[in-house]
Amino acid sequence: METYTLVVLLLAATIRVATPLLLAALGGLFSERAGVIALGLEGMMLGAAFAAAAVSAASGSAWLGLGAGIGTAVLLALVIAVAGVTFRGNQVVAAMAVNIMVAGLGPSLALAWFDLGGQTPQLNDAAQRFRELVWPGAEAARHTPLPGLLYAELLSGHSVIVYLAFALVPAAAWVLYRSRFGLRLRAVGENPSAVDTAGLSVTGLRYQAVVLSGVLCGVAGAYLSTAASSGFVRDMTAGKGYLALAALVFGNWRPWRTLGACLLFAFTDALATRLQGVPLPLVGVIPVQFVLALPYVLTVLLLAGFVGRAVAPAAIGQPYEKER
Amino acid sequence: MNSAPASSPALELRGIDKRFGTVHANRRISLTIARGSIHGLIGENGAGKSTLMNIVYGFYPADAGEILVGGRRVDVGSPQDAIAAGIDMVHQHFMLVENFTVLENIVLGAEGGWQLAAGLARARARLEALARDYGLEVPLDAVVSTLPVGLQQRVEILKALHRGAEILILDEPTAVLTPQEADQLFRLLGRLRDQGKTVILVTHKLREIMAVTDRVTVMRQGSIVAEVATRDTSPRDLAEKMVGRAVLLRVEKGPARPGEVVLAARGLEVRDRRQVARLKNVSFQLRAGEIVGIAGVAGNGQSELLAALAGTLAPSRGEIELAGHELVRERLDARARRALGLAHVPEDRLHDGMIGGFAAEDNAILGYHDRAAYNRGALQDRRAITADCERKMTGYDVRPPRPRLPLASFSGGNQQKLVLAREIEAAPRVLLVGQPTRGVDIGAIEFIHRRLVALRDAGCAVLVVSVELDEILGLADRILVMAGGEVIGEVPRAEATEERLGLMMAGVRGEGAA
């Protein structure tokens, strides 16, 4: 293949890999802006991936699967909120408990229900998965030069969830900065006392934010098991929830910058996949383990180098208690 | 409320009662506040003033009692209810979101619709009118964290007026202001009263009560002990009612007899994590047998100075000399400095000066625990430690006198006294004291001041950092004024007046201020 085609395919892969990251990161953004640490993204996403695949397999409808995924992630979000907001427990512990519980519970339930070694059945039927939407004229455009291939690979040919994820970026920015809800959300993450004395409910706002992060993680999880692949397998999120959290921090808790960070992480991931077994000039073939570690090495470097300048919401991680 | 008869009081409290666990914070309080007046509420720390006002504002529920606004009974279950009833409160710690603009802070909770833009535009027009009416100019688009505290306080007041407050409660509003800023605030309160608003001023400063209020209510230990017209009372009278016995408002002390220089700071500079200089080129000398006071509005480098001297913060430049040692060059840490006779009572004692979960007797030797008197070989001499704590508790009237009790279960004033006892009884050459009477009631203030003067007369050099100008004026033999991280000037006690110090605290140099 010529270089140009390679680059376009790499970018198309970037978009597909970025989608679940972006959904989870935007969800985490609402949660963290409200002052609740979003360490539970991983667990919520994994739980949703399992529920979506299981329900889709049983019912034959990807949309019912999506609903189940969202429902499961919201339920897990509520667990975190009850422990971390209502009972003022340690948010990190609550979120990690959810992550660990889901990591074990998903495969166990899959084993009990489907008896396939901890997986859900393959989703082979068209209605069980979110298919790529092919835009008009995309097939024809594929064989024309430059703009045609871009149209066919980058704009066309993604599932509906991909378009939703990218459309959510401006929407999230609008909600955060232009709506009453966004103002209150940002306030409660900075100074909950100010929100309380303004006659607003700190608990209520934080619940809304955490549930919203659950909804978005639900979509992200459903994407993983019913769009990007055909079924649930053990640990299929593989740290994407933590990567999303890193992207959100690297994006300075702002929607557009978070999009940039997600694309960057996704690009290195797509690149790593492409680089497997490919000889490079000077160094030759890099062992596959090193290549696959690339996105995570990048995460560490970026966060170590840039996060010093990022300013987290002031009240993050602190349960709110009225002063006496 | 507009339909209420003009004669009915703005606010009436009947039998308000509140307990926090074993503490009876408010005992059946009944209080009437006239419309269009400034009403002072005064009492020592822990007298229950703030609790009472937080109940009126709906921040905590009362256990019993009722609240009437304009003659009508209202159920104030939350701040929202209070705001709806026309009651608003400016808290001691501002309830502002630091990285929001003034406008965003003011509309929070009353945005006027789910889309911000329209609501913000309407609020802007209304606020500009309000600002004109009351002479309350604030830059609406400035980010709050960039504003000086005086302006932040105006934002709070404007916020309350924007929400339609008829009754405005201010909790210790002058704690963070220079005397001149406080006077500005009082003029503003006067204008609010003249426009028919009702102001409740919660404070422990007698000067403020005398300066602005029409009536004053005195609280002690959760109860109202007096209510008088301000013109019929005097500071001494109020102080006695607050404490329940006669008090000395002035510190009694003879002239200082300064000896040799025991501590000298030269060109001290401290930078924070973002490399901003918090302390700039500070030099001064401290002599044996004198009390030097450091005046200044909170946050102008005093805390950094204390920390740099005590050894808990490394200066980026400069030197400190103590007993023939160069502390910075020799890298002597807090412990080594203590061994050289430098004692330190930190500003935030509850946080930096004690361990609440430890027994009082262990706190009473903290930092001096390796002295021979408290040890027998490798083991602690528990009997000696207990005896030592009993002695300190008797000498400093720490109650209850039970050395084994965890320090956290003592009241704030008693915790402070024990920390102070520990540092003073170590017989230091130099004593650094931050905010010696913060959180301490008037009775204990007198006692602490007498101890500090006695220590001075015994030949110790004392450095007192305080944001209470009265305290500096009462204690110090020499006064250094800090503003913006610098020592703006030095004033001998005899030449110091509140106006002159106030101007210097605002950053005006010594000569111009004279």
**Cβ contact (<8 Å) for A178 and B115?**
yes
Q: Are A220 and A237 in contact (CB under 8 A)?
A: no
* A315 within a domain of the structure (yes/no): no
How many CB pairs below 8 A link A and B? 75
Q: Are B396 and B417 in contact (CB under 8 A)?
A: yes
**Cβ contact (<8 Å) for B80 and A193?**
no
Chain B residues whose C-beta sits inside 8 Å of any chain A C-beta: 20, 57, 59-60, 78-83, 89, 91, 93, 95-100, 104-105, 107-111, 113-117, 119
User: Pairing between strand B325-326 and B342-345?
Assistant: unpaired
Q: What is the per-residue pLDDT for B305?
A: 95
Nearest to A199 among B79, B97, B115 (CB): B79
**Cβ contact (<8 Å) for A178 and B89?**
no
Nearest to A200 among B93, B109, B119 (CB): B109
**Cβ contact (<8 Å) for A200 and B96?**
no
Nearest to A178 among B93, B105, B116 (CB): B116
Same domain assignment for residues B384 and B236: no
Phi then psi dihedrals of residue B354, to 5 deg: -160, 165
**Cβ contact (<8 Å) for A324 and B20?**
yes
Q: What is the per-residue pLDDT for A126?
A: 86
Q: What is the mean pLDDT of residues A200-204?
A: 94
**Which amino acid, B51?**
T
Whether A324 has a pLDDT exceeding 60, the answer reads no
Of B89, B94, B113, nearest in space to B105 by CA: B94
- Residue B185 structural domain: 11-243
- Residue A68 structural domain: 2-309
Q: Where are the alpha helices (DSSP H) in B267-321?
A: 302-310
Of B102, B97, B111, B95, nearest in space to B140 by CA: B102
Q: At what angle do helices A160-178 and A3-33 cross, to 10 degrees?
A: 40
Q: Which two tokens stand for residue B34?
A: 């006239």
Q: Cα distance from B14 to chain A (closest Cα, Å)?
A: 22
Same domain assignment for residues B266 and B379: yes
Distance of CA B216 to the CA centre of its chain: 21
Cross-strand bridge partners of residue B218: B42, B226
The Cα B206–Cα B217 span in angstroms is 12
Same domain assignment for residues B237 and B317: no
* B252 within a domain of the structure (yes/no): no
Q: What is the per-residue pLDDT for A308?
A: 58
**Cβ contact (<8 Å) for A194 and B111?**
no
Q: Tell me: the pLDDT tens digits for B422-463?
A: 999 998 999 999 988 876 767 778 888 988 999 999 999 999
Chain B residues touching A196 at Cβ < 8 A: 59, 79, 95
The Cα A114–Cα A120 span in angstroms is 6
**Cβ contact (<8 Å) for A197 and B57?**
yes
Q: Write out the DSSP string of B164-216.
A: T-SEEEEESTTTTS-HHHHHHHHHHHHHHHHTT-EEEEEES-HHHHHHH-SEE
Q: What is the per-residue pLDDT for B3?
A: 43
The Cα A76–Cα A45 span in angstroms is 10
List, as own/partner pairs, every contact residues A204-207 make where C-beta atoms lie below 8 angstroms and the sequence separation is at least 24, other chains included: A205/A34, A206/A34, A206/A35, A206/A36, A206/A81, A206/A85, A206/A320, A207/A78, A207/A81, A207/A85
Residue A156 is given by DSSP the state: S
Same domain assignment for residues B218 and B282: no
Same domain assignment for residues B413 and B506: yes
Chain B residues touching A199 at Cβ < 8 A: 78-83, 109
The Cα A100–Cα A77 span in angstroms is 14
The Cα B467–Cα A125 span in angstroms is 75
* A317 within a domain of the structure (yes/no): no
Q: What is the per-residue pLDDT for B514?
A: 41
Same domain assignment for residues B421 and B490: yes
The Cα B416–Cα B445 span in angstroms is 11
The Cα A212–Cα A171 span in angstroms is 13
Q: What angle do CA A256, A257, A262 make, to 5 degrees?
A: 100
Q: Are B433 and B463 in contact (CB under 8 A)?
A: yes
Same domain assignment for residues B174 and B134: yes
Chain A residues whose C-beta sits inside 8 Å of any chain B C-beta: 177-184, 186-187, 190-191, 193-200, 314, 322, 324
The Cα B139–Cα B126 span in angstroms is 14
Q: Which two tokens stand for residue A311?
A: 């300013």
3 state SS for B87-126: EEEECCCCCCCCCCEHHHHHHCCCCCCCEHHHHHHHHHHH
Whether A159 has a pLDDT exceeding 60, the answer reads yes
Q: Which two tokens stand for residue B303?
A: 């805390």
Of A205, A216, A208, A202, nearest in space to A248 by CA: A216
Same domain assignment for residues B225 and B268: no
CB atoms within 10 A of CB A234: 15
**Cβ contact (<8 Å) for A199 and B116?**
no
Residues of chain B with pLDDT under 70: 1-7, 247-249, 439, 441, 510-514
What are the C-alpha distances in Å from A179 to residues A35, A251, A259, B200, B501?
A: 18, 21, 20, 35, 47
Q: Are B228 and B222 in contact (CB under 8 A)?
A: no
The residue whose two tokens read 């970025």 is A18
Q: What is the mean pLDDT of residues A69-80?
A: 97
Closest Cα in chain B to A193: B95
Of B492, B488, B494, nearest in space to B502 by CA: B488
Q: Are B216 and B209 in contact (CB under 8 A)?
A: yes
The residue whose two tokens read 């204008």 is B191
**Cβ contact (<8 Å) for B116 and A182?**
yes
Write the Ramachandran bin of B481: left for phi over 0, alpha for psi from -120 to 50, otherwise beta: beta
Which site among B100, B108, B170 would you substitute to test the A interface, given the most A Cβ atoms closer than 10 Å to its Cβ? Answer: B108
* Domains: count for chain B: 2
Nearest to A180 among B83, B95, B111 (CB): B111
Q: Tell me: the pLDDT tens digits for A208-244?
A: 999 999 999 999 999 999 999 999 999 999 899 999 9
* Domains: count for chain A: 1
**Cβ contact (<8 Å) for B108 and A200?**
yes
* B256 within a domain of the structure (yes/no): no
Q: How confident is the model at residue A44 (pLDDT cuts 50, 70, 90)?
A: very high
CB atoms within 10 A of CB B221: 14
Q: For the domain that residue A51 is a member of, what is the CATH number?
A: 1.10.3470
Q: For the domain that residue B58 is a member of, what is the CATH number?
A: 3.40.50.300
* B2 within a domain of the structure (yes/no): no
Same domain assignment for residues B367 and B484: yes
* A322 within a domain of the structure (yes/no): no
Q: What is the per-residue pLDDT for B1?
A: 42
Same domain assignment for residues B154 and B75: yes
* B6 within a domain of the structure (yes/no): no
CB atoms within 10 A of CB B58: 25
Q: How confident is the model at residue A278 (pLDDT cuts 50, 70, 90)?
A: confident
Tell me the whole-structure pTM to 2 decimals. Answer: 0.80
